[in-house]
Amino acid sequence: MDAVKIAPGFEKIMPQEYQDLVNDGPYGRNLSVKDLGTFKELIDEHPLCAGCTLTLSLRIVLASLPNPENTLIVTCAGCFGVIHPQISLHCTIAPFGTHNAFASGLKRALKVKFPNKNKDVISMAGDGGFADIGLSPTFHSWVRGERLTSIMIDNECYANTGGQDSGMTPEGVVLNMSPLGKNFPKIEFAELAKLAGCAYVATATPTNPRLLGQMVRRAILVSREVGPTVIRIATVCQTNYKLSPIEGYNKAKSFESQTFEYFTKEAQKYIESIEKKSPKTELNLEVGVENED
């Protein structure tokens, strides 16, 4: 926490925004989604489209970090490339698709540098970044058991490049590189994550902030002690799907039916030990626990 202080003598000359972060930011305060509106957030303006559900998702994720003062984020090209400089954490952009490889090196180096200190590394990218160009390093980071939290914001297309189909675009959708409709189905990203041995896999939507916030918290805690964790945030790019902001929000809301959580036995035990109860979500969603033996 010493890092999140103003050096003596600099109190008056630091920008107001910086003073707000130091005096009223979320560092070291164990805040959550329900505290939104009462503190200086890690992101509070953005240059993306009006009504963008990616930024809504990002806002919820950032408000749910268990230890923002020791959290680092790796992103890659796409709409994240536009927004990442404005996050008030150590946050960087890796070459497109390499974010989980970058994050693997970062996490291991931090472990070497601070053997007795926990540093949470989150890799956050879009559906193209994770499921297409970055599938190999993503899958390999899971197989290696890297202690990372991978958060895919799935808006079902390449958005920043002008609306092309990705592996996560549903079959039949017409986008700029699928002029006759995409002719193969959406990749089963969560199934791949389970297959690779991830300890915690979840799908959420930004339209249920409390549930998403809980998932983010669980994913990060499990990644510290058990193994790799994955959250897919199901949304849509309303700009490239030619929807109004409210239509985009409603489309994301319609994905609430896809919401689920999966724990390995070890991850379930760990969550139980922290939350002092069985890790059923508040909404009593189906909890898929797979026996490891």
| Footprint on this chain of other proteins (rule: CB under 8 A) | 3-4, 17-18, 21, 27, 47, 69-72, 74, 81-92, 94-95, 98, 101-114, 119, 136-137, 140, 144
Q: Least separation, in Å, of the C-beta of 135 and other proteins?
A: 11
> Of 36 and 135, which CB lies nearer to other proteins in the complex structure?
135
Q: How far apart are the first and last CA of the chain?
A: 41
Q: Least separation, in Å, of the C-beta of 47 and other proteins?
A: 6
Q: Least separation, in Å, of the C-beta of 70 and other proteins?
A: 5
Mapping DSSP to helix (H, G, I), strand (E, B) and coil, where does residue 91 land? strand
Q: Least separation, in Å, of the C-beta of 102 and other proteins?
A: 4
> Of 193 and 202, which CB lies nearer to other proteins in the complex structure?
193
Q: How many Å apart are CA 201 and CA 229, to the nearest integer? A: 6
> Of 104 and 281, which CB lies nearer to other proteins in the complex structure?
104
Q: How many Å apart are CA 80 and CA 83, to the nearest integer? A: 5
Beta bridge partners of 288: 262
Q: Least separation, in Å, of the C-beta of 114 and other proteins?
A: 7
> Of 87 and 212, which CB lies nearer to other proteins in the complex structure?
87
Long-range residue pairs from 140-144, CB within 8 A, at least 24 positions apart, any chain: 140/100, 140/101, 141/100, 141/101, 141/103, 141/104, 141/228, 142/193, 142/196, 142/197, 142/198, 142/228, 142/230, 143/196, 143/197, 144/104
Long-range residue pairs from 34-39, CB within 8 A, at least 24 positions apart, any chain: 34/210, 34/213, 35/63, 36/63, 36/209
Q: Least separation, in Å, of the C-beta of 193 and other proteins?
A: 16
> Of 21 and 267, which CB lies nearer to other proteins in the complex structure?
21
Q: Least separation, in Å, of the C-beta of 125 and other proteins?
A: 13
> Of 158 and 263, which CB lies nearer to other proteins in the complex structure?
158
CB 214 within 8 A of CB 140: no
Rg, Å, the chain Cα set = 19
Q: Tokens 């918290």 appear where?
A: 217
Q: Strand runs (DSSP E) across 18-146, as ranges? A: 71-76, 90-94, 120-126
> Of 118 and 250, which CB lies nearer to other proteins in the complex structure?
118
